[in-house]
Structure 1
């Protein structure tokens, strides 16, 4: 059992205790970050003459070799090591002897793992952001292609007013745009370097923490060593960001699942993102959308787990904090996988535009516009509301939409109706006369698309 400690102990750790305490099975994902951080630490130690230039060069070269061998599969990370730190250091010492034993000068595993997790999380944020940007580009293209695709807008899952598919997709563009803003904000807050904080009280060695921070791409060093080793706020924030991303994906999936039903037939999901039934040959199931919806709870679980772990921890580092990794790593992979698969599903999805338009018409989504017509012709709003209510009831009985009625039928309900009512309740008219920014009218949507186009160029 390779351990970085032992001088204080006279007995071997019980095997069961060792296995319970060890983190190598999951923190091996941090090998790249651990070696990157170690190289920066060595560069700083050499700069400060804590290590000689030659010692620093030997350690740096050997660390590069270890990483290369791990990535190529030549060197395996096994469970004989307690954690990724002991794996790297043990292999370094085996190859360089006493020189390798100087690597850990002025450093604790506490600030080392804090650094590793920050570096790893920062990389994950960048990868997630790229996936979100890809999804936004897909949504943007659908919006451009569907400025005139009329569909019903809903409240309470009831058809409410006519909108366009472009406008509906724009709501999700806004959600995922906010998600990117949150990621940027989280990255800004986490981007301070904890290395040099030691176990909790810094070190007596003359470290240059600003130099280490700059080598690793941080904005500067953290300003309190106790907080540095016990802070996981950035990880909780990122898991919260991922939870919101997954919530938005889940809402989108729920709509796609609904639109995919025989009752709606708004979309056709590509065969490559669907599955069949083992017993019912007619079935084409939206499994990817359902799995994304289901996996949302998995990401929520990681967030709640870490919040629960951290809520009772006194300063500074405690072993409980080792629990920050397994579920977080799983949440990172889950969210990225869901984003990639959802984007692929959306790119290949076909929209049944005629069905969308017919649904808007049959759902009386232009009823509000019919009421507005009466108001604009001198009818008090409350009376207009009642008249249109009776009109809708008549349409239901006759199985017609409002614009399918004759002028005579309309005038039997109110003699205020004239020939121009048909233009007033035309679905395209209903949509396009809504011109305020943020509304579904074509002119308003074109302005929004120009804003989105500039946003995506950044």
Structure 2
């Protein structure tokens, strides 16, 4: 009987399971299994190999296989990473775990009866995915750290350069780029600390959870977790195979980061717009108009803001992919719901690299920025403070008098630095207030960027306070670098030990020796 176009002929599938007699259909192979296989071969195979090596060590420890057998299995697993394996619906049902198993079995000098006894693909897959996600998180943290440090460097260079700060999209008070980018730097440090907590919280090994209820042999799950660089095994076997909450926890943090990045880049876009012209980027980071030769555009800024939106979209995709699914091992959760994990981190790293390049190449137009500061009555708040603190004018009345003065100055066509004690005297008299000194409060409030230097509180825009904050941030970044390096080194130490215990000393750890 000739197979239908949508059905593959019966091959070796009978040796994989006694329940299914036919190999996957062509449709299932082409649309689902083969693409999944290619993805896992490209990104998860090294971690599947690592897991298999840990299992081999455990079989040896339990006396189910010999030392030479474990070493031979380890060498063959090494070869799988180098030679590659392929999806074959007849031989391995286009399943990477089966393909890896067959690769080893074909290469064994003699059959190893107990290899793969008491085993399930469920916890193997869950572990490989977690290790891959952890690797992506470590790499993502590096790109966030690089951006945060770039923002910190820019802040240190621009702490004394006045610019208009806005509230409600209106000129409000004087700030500096240093003050602004110190906030950007602070947010990145905050994100990195949260991601450290996330990393440590998710770094629990599912290995040994079995299909869903644990295993029948006395696996040393603590030892296996340590070899994988995990801080402990996942305590509950069902959670080990059913949960992908770690995907959501990472994605949630990156969604929050994307929101913050979108706000920061929106301000940079405003500063670079025609009415402001506070910043410029070099030509190699700029674009042109095909129709308007006078224009120099900054599409890189739009790219950054657009990409930051994807981070929240990926989180929503992953959340909906898990929502209302049974809490057990499910392909829907383990594969579909996490399908965009790699694209999410790819987007994160691209966004961070682009934003880092922008920050490292920003030039500020000091003349335009100072001119913008000098044309606004940004010292109104300072004037009210001066009237209260030095003239004993009640605070709300002082606010009204300051506002009256600014209205009168506008009406008279006076710029902020052209102070008029007479106008202040008149504004105060309207409220029955007689001032002893009409000039000093105005001179303090409306000298060029003068109110910037009136700030005294920690964390304020005063350049000295910004420098103090940046010094604290320098210490934070040193600590964060140390903490992330410790996580990376700890993982690598475990992976190195796996090959050492198997007698594999070719310098490649777990097929993934340099990935972390």
Shift of 1:230: 0.8
- Return the alpha-carbon distance in structure 2 between the equivalents of residues 235 and 325 of structure 1: 7
- Pick closer, same or farther for the CA change 1:402–1:413 going to 2, 3 Å: farther
Aligned to 1:326, what secondary structure does the other structure show?
coil
TM-score, normalised to structure 2, is 0.82
The Cα shift of 1:21 comes to 4.3
Specify whether residues 99 and 252 from structure 1 end up closer, same or farther in structure 2 by C-alpha distance, changes over 3 A only. Answer: farther
Q: How does 1:423-434 map to 2 (within 5 A)?
A: 423-434=444-455
Give the corresponding residue for 1:122. 134
Match of 2:338 in 1: 325
User: What TM-score, normalized to structure 1?
Assistant: 0.92
The correspondence for 2:463, drawn from 442, 447, 455, is 442
Instruction: Describe the superposition over 1:253-306 as per-residue Cα deviations: whole angstroms up to 9, x where unpaired.
Output: 111111110111111122222222222222222222211211223222221122
Q: Distance in 2 between matches of 1:434 and 1:112?
A: 58
- Runs of 4+ more than 6 Å apart: 1-4
Matched, 1:419 2:454: no
Q: Is the 8 A contact 2:459 2:465 kept in 1?
A: yes
Cα distance change on mapping 1:208 and 1:309 into 2, 3 Å = same
* 1:455 aligned partner: 476
> Within 2, Cα distance between the matches of 1:182 and 1:405?
49
Q: Alignment partner for residue 289 of structure 1, among 293, 301, 308?
A: 301
- Please tell me whether the aligned partners of residues 31 and 67 of structure 1 are also in contact (alpha carbons under 8 angstroms): yes
Unaligned 5+ runs, structure 1:
70-74
- Offset of residue 413 of structure 1: 4.3
Question: How far does residue 13 in structure 1 lie from its aligned partner after superposition?
Answer: 2.8
Distance 2:144 2:427 in 1: 51
Q: Using the TM superposition, name which of 135-144 and 400-409 deviates more.
A: 400-409
Report matched runs for 1:15-414 at 5 Å.
Answer: 15-22=26-33, 23-28=36-41, 29-69=43-83, 75=84, 77=86, 82-96=94-108, 99=111, 103-321=115-333, 322-376=335-389, 377-408=391-422, 410-411=424-425, 413-414=427-428
- 1:442–1:61 distance in 2 versus 1, CA, 3 Å: same
Change (3 A) 1:397 1:41: farther
Find the aligned partners of 1:98 and 1:44 in 2 and give their Cα distance: 20
- Cα distance in 2 for partners of 1:294, 1:382 equals 44
Cα separation, 1, equivalents of 2:412 and 2:211? 79
Within 2, Cα distance between the matches of 1:100 and 1:261? 70
Q: Residues 267, 83 of structure 1: CA spacing in aligned structure 2 closer, same or farther, 3 A cutoff?
A: farther
**What secondary structure is seen at the aligned counterpart in 2 of 1:405?**
coil
Moved more, 271-280 or 52-61: 271-280
Change (3 A) 1:79 1:444: farther
CA RMSD of aligned residues (A): 2.4
CA shift in 2, pair 1:128/1:79, >3 Å: farther
Q: How far 1:437 moved relative to its partner?
A: 1.1
Tell me whether 410-419 or 191-200 shows the greater mean CA deviation: 410-419
Give the distance between the partners of 2:114 and 2:311, measured in 1 at CA.
Answer: 40
Q: 1-side partners of 2:67 and 2:314: how far apart?
A: 44
